[in-house]
Amino acid sequence: MPEALTSLDRLREVALEQHGYVTTEQAIKAGTSSALLASMVRRGRLEHPARGVYRVGQVPVTEYDPHMLAVLWTGFPEACLSHDSALDVWEISDILPDEIHVTVAAHRRIERKIPRGYVIHYQDLRPDQVTWRESIPTVTAATAIKQCLETGVPTYLIRQAIERSARTGLVPAAQHEELHELMEARYAG
């Protein structure tokens, strides 16, 4: 007879796909009450690194944990890595962001203090502008490059991102030309 899954087992299943993290909403959908979440934190079964986000300690830590936490921290389903952080996770530039950039829909408002090290951008993204990288919702390489062009990332890093993304096939040829034109327009402006 198969063994029944415990609440922690169900949370672990969700967390395995999210670098060890699970939101309160996801936990409730998995059948875990808020009271049980609080109890698991008290007993050391879960960590509570941010409001509305828990970490299952049995899931190995990866270099992308902080990125996943930032996206989940927003509490918005459309939240994704963007700008400098997206360039970094796409590995198409030598950029070393000091902060984690996350984009949420333009109509959203975050009414709590934004943690140090997070930059929240408000922009409506089309579905074709967002994909997955390292199991984290992330803007496409082309979208990240366009965002970085608008926010003043140094030109040499953008040029590097355009060249590497073309070489690796992350950006289709048609978009590659558009990015070059946008970069040249940046010089003209």
Say what the pLDDT of residue 189 is: 59
Specify the DSSP class assigned to residue 61: P
DSSP for 24-45, please give it.
HHHHHHTT--HHHHHHHHHTTS
DSSP annotation of 58: T
Q: What is the pLDDT of residues 89-141, one digit of tens each?
A: 999 999 999 999 999 999 999 999 999 999 999 999 999 999 999 999 999 99
* pLDDT above 50 for 1: no
pLDDT digits (tens, 9 = 90+) for 35-49: 999 999 999 999 999
| pLDDT tens by residue, 136-165 | 999 999 999 999 999 989 999 999 999 999
Q: What is the pLDDT of residue 35?
A: 94
Mean pLDDT of all residues belonging to the chain: 94
Contact predicate 83/148, CB 8 Å: yes
Instruction: Locate the domains of the chain by residue range.
Output: 7-56, 83-188
Region 4-22: what's the mean pLDDT? 92
Share of the chain above pLDDT 70, in %: 97
pLDDT band at 5; cut points 50, 70, 90: confident
Q: Of all helices (H) and strands (E), which one includes residue 95?
A: none
Task: Report residue 90 as tokens.
Answer: 């796409």
Q: For position 188, what pLDDT does the model report? A: 73
C-alpha count within 13 angstroms, C-beta hemisphere, residue 42: 6
**What is the distance between the alpha carbons of residues 79 and 85, in angstroms, rounded to a whole number?**
13
Q: Band of the pLDDT at 3, cuts 50, 70, 90?
A: low
Query: How many residues are present in the chain?
Result: 189
**Residues 186, 148: Cα–Cα separation, whole Å:** 11
Residue by residue, DSSP assigns 101-158 as EEEE-TT----SPPPTTEEEEE----GGGEEEETTEEEE-HHHHHHHHHHHT--HHHH
- For residue 153, how far is the Cα from the chain centroid? 19
Question: pTM of the entire structure?
Answer: 0.93
pLDDT at 185: 86
Mean pLDDT of 162-186: 91
